[in-house]
Structure 1
Amino acid sequence: MSLVAFPGQPHPPATGPTTATAIDRFLDTLVAISTRAGYAETLTRLAAVTGTQFPAAALQPEHYAAVMERWTAATAATWNRHLSALTSFTTWAQRQEILATNPARRLERRKSARRGDRSIPRTRLEALFTDDSHALRERVLWRLLYETAARAEEILTLNVEDLDPEFRRARVTSKGGAIEYVHWATPTARLLPRLLAGRTSGPVFLADRRAPTSGPRTPAAADIDPATARGRLSDPRAEYLFKTASAMLDPHRRGWTLHQLRHSALQHLAQAGRTAPELQAKSRHQHLASLGRYVRLGEETSARVTAEADPIQRRRPR
């Protein structure tokens, strides 16, 4: 869709920072790389809607509505994610006394539909992981995501320096910028040295091509492997490869998402009898209630738990 100026609105006086400058300052305050990248997508559109020289103090609900128009037909989760970027920016701008009002006041979060079990059957995952027709990079990434139950952005932003092979763990930057550790199992431990091939620095997962050295798509120096000059594998590319590879095993032929590997790991651990505190330790959720989105054991588990707790059944025969 094309962006046009709002009719009948005179250009406001140039007081305070421009919207583009305020956005840059706000993004610089974000520690988590994944959060900064996600917010940047939304706020770049805000700068495009207003123009680079528009004063941030003059932002209106109409500007925010024009930004969110792009995601009108998106899922509730996608809509809420972009709205969160706008509201976070607004809160920061109000604290900095850049904004006196709340341009997001007319926008509402959408209620997500309750989802059923999003886990992938263990046998199909194993078939995917052991299929040598898929590249080593992808098989290591998929296994690592499943065995660590980590978020995709946490694993894709790993550098070789973050790995601790002796203890089979990696240092990740989680939501909110906290430094935490995730742990993997033997299958990943066997494949990881083959992927690294002696590399001691740079991104763990590399793109297929060398990174551009100039232009708007030039990555940061930290996202380039010093030995091969290849850039870091991007989230969209990794997602596309997994969805394409898994489509043949998906009964609906749509393919699965990388985030479903996290769902699957936690679901399978729950089915194996792991307790809620153990699942919380593995997933690194701050609140146990958050696990409800990931672990849905269903009627079969309910029946088994009821039967095992039945006081009559538990009596020993005389």
Structure 2
Amino acid sequence: MDTALADPTVPLAVRVVWQLLWESEVRPEELLASDVPDAELEDRLLVIRRSQEGGIFETGITAAAAGMLRELIGARTEGPLFTVAGRRLSKGEVATAFRVATGGRSLAALRFTRAARATGVATGSRADQMSH
């Protein structure tokens, strides 16, 4: 995961999505529907306004993710949070880039890593260090 997140050939927006999927319980579709105002970086929160269950919820983010989001957002104050070439990033683009960067793994691997971390299976990994 560290190698994929550090790969400069992968657009920053894609890498930030991977980071947030790795460290949170947010679904890809919920994350990709986020807009710039949904990132409350001072409080290290991401507001999910279009949850699968309906309604709004907040998820905490790590300092690393907040820093990546600051870089991604720049001076923007509105519009889609995750953009490439001026358009909203799609789940397909994120998933394809992840498969290429990880030798064929699916985005579901991020969820399994998170689940393993929660149960203590990933003890001593960077995943444990990333928990919030």
TM-score range, shorter chain: 0.7 to 0.9
Instruction: Confirm or deny that 1:126 pairs with 2:2.
Output: yes
Equivalent in the alignment of 2:87: 231
Aligned counterpart, 1:266: 115
Match of 2:77 in 1: 200
Instruction: Return the offset for 1:142.
Output: 0.8
Query: Residue 33 of structure 2 is aligned with which of 145, 152, 157?
Result: 157
CA drift of 1:160 comes to: 0.6
**Alpha carbons of 1:263 and 1:149: their partners in 2 closer, same or farther (altered >3 Å)?**
farther
Aligned to 2:126: none
In the alignment, structure 1 residue 242 sits paired with structure 2 residue 98: yes
Pairwise CA distance, 1:272:
6.6
Q: Which amino acid aligns with 1:233?
A: L
User: Given residue 245 of structure 1, which amino acid in structure 2 is its aligned partner?
Assistant: A
Relative to structure 1, the CA distance from residue 132 to residue 207 in structure 2 (aligned partners, 3 Å threshold; closer, same or farther) is closer
* Structure 1, gaps ≥5 residues long: 1-124, 209-229, 248-254, 274-281, 283-318
Q: State how far apart, in whole Å, the 2-side matches of 1:192 and 1:153 are.
A: 18
Maintained 8 Å contact 1:161/1:200 = yes
Larger radius of gyration: 1
Q: Note the C-alpha offset of 1:131.
A: 2.8
Tell me, in whole angstroms, the C-alpha distance in 2 between the residues paired with 1:272 and 1:180: 28
Alignment of 1:142 with 2:31, yes or no, is: no
Q: Which amino acid aligns with 2:113?
A: S
Find the aligned partners of 1:269 and 1:151 in 2 and give their Cα distance.
17
Q: How does 1:2-81 map to 2 (within 5 A)?
A: none
How many Å apart are 1:165 and its aligned residue?
Answer: 0.7
Preserved contact between residue 151 and residue 259 of structure 1 (Cα < 8 Å): no
Please list the CA deviations of residues 229-284 of structure 1 after superposition, one character each: whole Å capped at 9, or x if unmatched.
x221111122111111211xxxxxxx1222321221121122179xxxxxxxx9xx
Paired position in structure 2 for 1:110: none
Q: Give 1 or 2: higher strand fraction.
A: 2
Which residue in the other structure is 2:128 paired with? none
Q: TM-score, normalised by structure 1?
A: 0.36
Match of 1:191 in 2: 68
Residue 178 of structure 1 corresponds to 55
Name the SS for the 1:170 alignment partner: strand
Q: Determine the C-alpha separation between the residues in 2 that align with 1:133 and 1:236.
A: 18
The structural deviation recorded for 1:149 is 2.9
Structure 2, unmatched stretches of 5+, are 123-130
Q: Distance in 2 between matches of 1:182 and 1:259?
A: 19
The CA RMSD measured in Å over matched residues stands at 2.0
Give structure 1 regions of 4+ aligned residues with deviation exceeding 2 angstroms.
130-135
Percent identical across equivalent pairs?
30
- Is the CA contact (8 Å cut-off) linking 2:22 and 2:111 kept in structure 1? yes
Aligned to 1:74: none
Aligned residue runs from structure 1 range 110-121, under 5 A: none
Please, what TM-score do these two structures have when normalized by structure 2?
0.81
Alignment: residue pair count: 122
